[in-house]
Amino acid sequence: MKPQTLLAPALALVAMACMDTSFAITKTVELPPDGIALTASPLPGYQKAQENCTRCHSAEYMQYQPPTAPRAYWDAMVKRMKVVFKGPIPEEDMPAIVDYLVKTYGNEQSK
């Protein structure tokens, strides 16, 4: 038997194994909780936070902050993202973002 005659069925088997999508489907269903979006708000900072704050990580990080955190804490947080992690956050958008964050995740929540 020529080596080529053995190679063809072997390749076909490998191709079949690769086309088995059951693994991929399971993966899609069990997504880690990382697609967490920012809480919707009519505040102007909501849109700006979406543009500037979910580029590197999901909104999960915001949710883990203490609900007692005051405005100064969020102000420092936004500055930290810009200065330490070099987030391209426009200076003029920062007050609106802080306002949205403290009213949505911090100690100025209305609920």
Size of the site for ligand HEC (CB under 6 A): 18
- Interface with ligand HEC, residue 90, by CB under 6 A: no
- Per CB under 6 A, the list member of 45, 46, 52, 104 interacting with ligand HEC is 52
Q: How far apart are CA 69 and CA 48, in angstroms?
A: 20
**Residue 106: left (phi > 0), alpha (psi -120 to 50), or beta?**
beta
- Interface with ligand HEC, residue 62, by CB under 6 A: yes
Give, as ranges, the residues between 70 and 89 that touch ligand HEC (CB under 6 A). Answer: 77-78, 81, 85-87, 89
Q: Which of 108, 111, 105, 109 is nearest to 66 (CA)?
A: 105
- Interface with ligand HEC, residue 55, by CB under 6 A: yes
